[in-house]
Structure 1
Amino acid sequence: MKKRVLSILFVFFAILLLAGCKKKVYSVTFDAGGGSPTPVVQEIKKDKSATKPDDPTREGYRFLMWQLDGEKYEFTEKVVKNITLVAKWEKEKEDDDDDDPIVGTAEIKGVLSRRTITVGDEFDPFDGVTAIDKYGEDITADLETDFEEKWLTNKGNYRYYIWVYDEGQRVRVSVILVVESAESDDIVITAPEAVTYYIESGEFNPILEVSAYDVKEDEVVEVFVEDFDDYYVNSPGTYNYEVIAYDAKGREAKTTIKLTTKAAVNIPNTLPSSKISIEMWHSNGSAIEDALKKYAKDFEAMMLSKGYQVEVLVEKPASTYDDLRTTVVNALKGATLPQLVQNYPDHVVEYNSHKAISSLMPYINHPVWGMNPDVESEAFIDILEGYRKEQRAVGLDGDYLSLPFNKSTEVVAYNKDMFDFVLQDKPFPETWQELFALGPELIANKDRFIDAIVANWEAAGSPLDEEEITIIKENFVPFAYDSKANAFITLSRQFGGQYTGRNPDGSGRLLFDSSSVKSMLEYFGGNNDLFVIPERWETNYASDMIKKGYTAMAIGSTGGIRYNTPYEKGTKLFNLGVAPMFYDADHPNRKAVIQQGTNISLTNEGTPEQKLVAWLFLKYLTSNEVQEDFAILTGYSPVRNSVYSNDGFLAYLANADNEIKANASVQGLSQAKYQEAFELKVKAMAFQAVKDDRQHLFYDTPFIGSSATRTAVGVAFERVILRPEGTSLSDAINNAIQYALDEAGRIVD
């Protein structure tokens, strides 16, 4: 019996609890007071505001306002009970002169009692309207109206009159003008498809990453939020809200954003004074590794100045990014992970499928430890939109599982002496077709320029032997592309094709088996006497080959552009030029430049305090100060907008115009300083070359298997470009595509 009573009490209190948790909803009813239409009843959650309906109309009356209990009702008020709003009307005067009749002897023709237009439309109230006097004479020019132009930019119902006088008598007719909302073609809204918020992780801003631009007026416009309820950020679940912007004519553009609200995350508000150690894994070369270790020491010193003892261990457990991925995957099977790991987006997808990655959103928005939204250079949205978008694309809910660190794109490095000779003061080519047209002349004049390069190697004290010189001349190909995978992916886009896609469930799709991609392969495969990849010379990087004269041009990463610097022991080998990526002349609207480079993720390894320190180090690595220093040091692109306007960064870019003389002695520098000055110029030239390419940057949505797909299409591209002599180009293309489908399909399908 006692158990039964307890059960009943439990159910009773559970019902009370559920009733208390359920959000109260109130009805807002409208009484149009004889007008029409009567607005529909609105169901409003407690402490939310009702939406002002379109104004009703009423013959002979002008609508003034909605009232509650005889007082004007403001639609910003919170609804806390059921209410009825009543329309207040004002009777319209017949005329300014009470003795002036409404109906006279004239006649007004062509008037429609109701006109419907959309916001922003041009409208003439006299269009199609004529008037004649009692004798049949045309008096259309005497028509008058009280129509107001301002109505055209505001959705609603309006009444206006048209009248005319004839022999002192007035004839008047009324028209109801309905102005409906309209979509704008001039507004471009940039907004995430999905965002994630963690409860209690600071105030949620529904338009934090939203912007709108009026392309016709060439200006940024304000963004508004519709259908957003505070309830969305207080209860875990998935919700939709709309963001809207208006053009100069009042026409609207809107888009829907999916919000996923998740439970609160335990992040300490304070750190202990005891020592906290964290670990970061990477797979970079010595230059970046040295930079990371320097930043770790600087971070430790900064934290110590604030009273915190922290230790950052920067470890390199693998020599390549793919090997690092394998190391992490193996560690997921039972070993210990670091707190931070460097990765590519598709690696994060795989790690996250094992629940190994922590969301960064609670840290980004944290009121104590987050990125400061009030300081531009520290704000989260100061990170370039393209990089933020890439991070959001890792998952399906817009969560941030990584932040960008060393980002780059591709750029053209070329032997300026050779190109200047064949161009004869004409501009450097912009399209592949223009470039390939120069190929035969570059080949015809290769020996003279290779001899000049050889002479400078000898002047530097590093002479090339006759056998190697012969090999260089026999194997000269004017144009080279460093990355065969990047070449396949980028050129597919440029020539109208697709590479991969992602299904709604997160699985991948292979889209490269198409006529457009095959046409691209036919074009470049058919010109493999002019265009190759480094494997043609049994090496991995064309930057090594351009310096000896094997090629006149090498396309590669801005992050590695310094390796193209043509010097040897304090001697300049030739003048180097840097240009933006080429595009297809037949598809100029498909300019595409790959966005590449790695990101850093926070794992689930360690205590809350370790994870917090790891976050603070990651925030430090993406800070304005570090990103400027890292960009100047390595040539990688800063991930923050504010860096590009820093005085120090602008001074760095000015190095692009510096003169580099024939050798260190003439320059008045040591060999080491000469090398540093030359590399600084080349890195600055690369930044200058790609500064207008940001709008053409692209990335591919990651999925499990996208890394294997990338490897497969790289092999496919190599098989087409370096096909054995006598092999049919068509067969090589079909076999290469089938190979890539089979290899990628082992994981993707």
Structure 2
Amino acid sequence: MRKLYIGIMALLVTLALVACADGDRSGGVKNRLVEWYELSPEVQFDTETPVTITFWHRMGAASQNILKGWIQEFKTVYPNITVIEEKVASDYGGLVDKVALSLSAGIGPDLAESYPDHVARYAQSDAPLALNYFISHPDLGYDEEELADFLPSLWAESTSYDNDGTILSMPFSKSSEGFFYNKTYFDAHTLNGKTYTEIVEEDGLTWEKVFAIAEDIKAREPEATPFGYDSDSNFFITASEQYGAPYTGFSETTGRGEVLFNNEKSMEMIKYFKDKVDKGLMVVSGAVGDGFFASDIMKTNEKLYMYVGSTGGTRYAYENAHPDVIDETKGNYRVGVTIVPAFDGENPKQIQQGPNLTLFKKDNEQQMIATWLFTKFITSAEKSAQFAAPSGYAPIRYSSYESDFWQNHLDNLNNPNKALLTRLIDNLVVEAINLFLDHNEVFFTSPVFGLSSKSRDEVGKLVIKIMVYNAQSEEDLDAYIREQYQNTYDFVLS
């Protein structure tokens, strides 16, 4: 299976770097989000002249401390490069605003954490640095084996900005969503001769199976709302992809991004889940209120027993649980995780997330090369494993999982000297991370263009409006759904 993925990777790389041959280096410039920077194959890095680069991020204290250690280590490799890291915001919304404002003033950073939608915004000022010729550089770039070491779905996101394969980011700390369930509860209850755990762990987990379990729980516990979904936007985008309902895309004729979610197939999809919400089988976070996370309810060990949430937040399935809930002699609350349910169990799909690294154009070529070298350094196999272990974000390379650091981390998971809660969190984090390694083919990213971020925000709001609506009849519901889809679509385009 890995050979198949590497074959896909090789194809993606070939498409992205096709213009790097000795012949034409112009490619389809008119279809590119930004022009590719023409880094000559002959250019080398000047290891004598001092150069300073800046890295803006929104990391928490633990991650920032890891980064500081890397900067010190990088300084021993490239003594003439000074890296200044700065936490300029506490969340991604603040980060993208800060970076965009600074770029418009001509004083932006050399490197920043980013999401694809951020890059689309930065591209409006032609600021991101296209990495195609950096990656293909004979000395400064990657060889074929190194490229094949990146998990294919993570690398593919870096080429998703246009139809020409323009590479405007490097994968850094990646996450997706997982289906988390109360394993203790699921082990104790059966449906059609199988425990709930057996049902969700067998191949081909579907929404039909999830809601069959939810109905069984509801019949036994009328006050329960058995299933929750943490992200309204992710829910809409993933379910659309699974159901074959267009969401956004690139035009085959113009190469430009298109908003496509206002369609009958999508309305049919959302109506399927609206029925489950109305029956009390499911809750979406926005329908409850700001700050609601299903994990907060599940770890009380009652009323909600399964949810879809970010793998980057895996620890919250346990963190702050009451000691009696996790105590082996009392609640014995334990959590399992697998991939997100699908409409078709043989064709699962789920959205890929987590920040990348975006480099920015500068007048000084050596400064851009220095930033590129630092980016390569902190996305190496060992560094990726170091960043992943405490966070729940997935390592980005196959060799990260084989690194000494990662193997030592696995060997220490059940160290009896660690507190029970720490052991539980560490083990679940590894299970969630392994979803990327074991199911890499299920992950997708949505197209990135000027309206993609707005589309994402607004479909999340659309989900809430529909799920909380108290329809008087099926005709009333159909009319309301159609009206809200049209209003949302018009607003996105306005």
Paired residues for 1:498-509 under 5 Å: 498-503=246-251, 504-509=253-258
Matched, 1:436 2:211: yes
Within the candidate set 468, 484, 488, 1:722 is matched to 468
Matched, 1:191 2:11: yes
Which of the residues 338, 345, 357 maps onto 1:600?
Answer: 357
Which residue among 552, 563, 576 is the counterpart of 2:305? 552
- Rounded to whole Å, the distance in 2 between the matches of 1:535 and 1:383 is 35
1:643 counterpart letter in structure 2: S
Look up the match of 2:454: 708
TM-score (norm 2): 0.83
Q: 2:486 aligns with which of 718, 722, 738?
A: 738
Q: Following TM superposition, by how much is the alpha carbon of 1:339 offset from its aligned partner in structure 2, in angstroms?
A: 0.3
What amino acid sits opposite 2:65 in the alignment?
D
- Equivalent of 2:400 in 643, 653, 672: 643
Tell me by how many angstroms 1:488 deviates.
Answer: 0.4
* Separation in structure 1 between the aligned mates of residue 348 and residue 281 of structure 2, nearest angstrom: 22
**In the alignment, which residue of structure 2 is the partner of 1:591?**
348
Superposition map of 1:409-558 within 5 A = 409-423=176-190, 425-426=194-195, 427-429=198-200, 430-446=205-221, 476-503=224-251, 504-528=253-277, 529-538=280-289, 539-548=291-300, 549=302, 551-558=304-311
Query: Quick one: which amino acid aligns to residue 545 of structure 1?
Result: I
**CA–CA distance in structure 2, aligned partners of residues 618 and 745 of structure 1:** 36
| Matched letter for residue 484 of structure 2 | A
CA deviation after TM superposition for structure 1 residue 636, in Å: 1.2
1:577 and 2:398 matched: no
* 1:362 equivalent among 118, 133, 145: 133
Q: CA 1:610–1:693 in 2, change beyond 3 Å: closer, same or farther?
A: same
Higher helix share: 2
CA distance in 2, matches of 1:437, 1:720: 23
Cα distance per residue 1:427-452 (max 9 Å; x no partner): 133211111112233235559xxxxx
Q: Greater CA deviation, 269-278 or 481-490?
A: 269-278
Q: 1:625 aligns with which of 368, 382, 385?
A: 382
Structure 1 position 349, deviation (Å): 2.6
SS of the aligned residue for 1:369 comes to coil
CA distance in 2 between counterparts of 1:655 and 1:409 reads 25
Deviations 1:480-535 (A, max 9, x none): 11111110011112223121111243422222222221121111001101111123
- The answer to whether the 8 A contact 2:299-2:321 is kept is no
Tell me how far apart the structure 2 counterparts of residues 579 and 237 of structure 1 sit (CA, whole Å). 44
Whether the 8 Å contact between 1:268 and 1:609 is mirrored in structure 2 is no
Distance in 2 (alpha carbons) for counterparts of 1:690 and 1:446:
34
Shift of 1:367: 3.6
Q: CA deviation at 1:635?
A: 1.5
1:683 match: 429
User: 1:395 offset after TM fit, Å?
Assistant: 3.0
Q: Is the 8 A contact 1:418 1:442 kept in 2?
A: no
SS of residue in 2 equivalent to 1:428: helix
What is the CA-CA distance between 1:280 and the residue it aligns to? 0.9
Residue 286 of structure 2 aligns with an amino acid whose one-letter code is E
1:498–1:517 CA contact under 8 A, matched in 2: yes
Deviation at residue 195 of structure 1 after TM alignment: 3.0
The residue aligned with 1:313 is: 84
> How many equivalent residue pairs?
460
Aligned-partner Cα distance in 2 for 1:603–1:642: 28
CA distance in 1, matches of 2:275, 2:458: 21
Between 1 and 2, higher relative CO (CA 8 Å, sep ≥ 6) is seen in: 2
Closer, same or farther: CA 551–294 of 1 in aligned 2, 3 Å: farther
Among 106, 115, 119, the residue aligned to 1:344:
115
For 1:353 and 1:496, locate their aligned partners in 2 and report how far apart those are by CA, in whole Å.
30
Q: Which runs of 5+ in 1 are unaligned?
A: 1-186, 199-203, 205-231, 240-259, 448-473, 660-666
Is the Cα–Cα contact under 8 Å of residues 381 and 400 in structure 2 kept in the other structure? yes
* Aligned with 2:22 (options 222, 227, 233): 233
TM-score, normalised relative to structure 1: 0.56
Counterpart AA for 2:298:
I
Distance 2:211 2:241 in 1: 19
Cα pair distance change 1:359/1:744, threshold 3 Å: same
Residue 270 of structure 2: SS of its match in structure 1? helix
Greater strand fraction, Structure 1 or Structure 2: 1
**Correspondence 1:140-151 to 2 at 5 A:** none
Checking the alignment, whether the CA contact within 8 Å between 1:349 and 1:395 is kept in structure 2 is: no
**Does structure 2 conserve the Cα–Cα contact (< 8 Å) formed by 1:415 and 1:575?**
yes
Question: Sequence identity, in percent?
Answer: 29
Aligned residues of 1:343 and 1:600 also touching (Cα < 8 A): yes
In structure 2, how many angstroms separate the alpha carbons of the residues matched to 1:333 and 1:690? Answer: 36
Q: Where do 1:41-440 residues align within 5 Å? A: 191-192=11-12, 194-196=15-17, 233-238=22-27, 263-265=38-40, 269-273=44-48, 275-303=50-78, 308-371=79-142, 373=143, 376=145, 379-423=146-190, 425-426=194-195, 427-429=198-200, 430-440=205-215
Q: In structure 2, do the counterparts of structure 1 residues 190 and 517 end up closer, same or farther at CA, with 3 Å as the change threshold?
A: farther
- 1:704 CA drift (Å): 1.0
CA–CA distance in 2 between the matches of 1:506 and 1:347? 19
Structure 1 residue 724, shift from structure 2 partner: 4.1
Q: CA deviation at 1:322?
A: 2.8
Letter in 2 for 1:698: F
Structure 1 residue 600: Cα displacement = 0.9
Shift in Å, 1:706: 0.3
* Cα distance change of structure 1 residues 653 and 714 upon mapping to structure 2, 3 Å threshold: farther
C-alpha displacement at 1:540, in angstroms?
Answer: 4.0
Q: Quick one: distance in 1 between partners of 2:169 and 2:9?
A: 25
Aligned-pair CA distance for 1:267: 8.4
Indicate the SS of the match to 1:280: strand
CA distance in 1, matches of 2:255, 2:90: 30
- State the AA in 2 paired with 1:388: W
How much does 1:689 deviate?
Answer: 4.8
Is the 1:655–1:684 Cα contact (8 Å) retained in structure 2?
A: no
CA separation of 1:577/1:710 partners in 2, compared to 1, >3 Å: closer, same or farther? Answer: same
1:646-666 residue CA offsets vs partner (Å, 9 max, x unmatched)? 35435645778x59xxxxxxx
Q: 1:698–1:325: structure 2 CA closer, same or farther, 3 Å change rule?
A: same
Residue 40 (structure 1) aligns with: none
Take 2:65 and 2:470, find their aligned partners in 1: how far apart are those partners?
43
Relative to structure 1, the CA distance from residue 404 to residue 188 in structure 2 (aligned partners, 3 Å threshold; closer, same or farther) is closer
Indicate if the aligned counterparts of 2:99 and 2:109 stay in contact, CA closer than 8 A.
no
Distance (Å, rounded) in 2 between the aligned partners of 1:414 and 1:602: 39
Alpha-carbon displacement from aligned partner over 1:607-627 (angstroms, at most 9, x marks no partner): 333222211111011101101
Q: Is the 8 A contact 2:179 2:338 kept in 1?
A: yes
Asked which structure has the greater CA Rg, the reply is 1
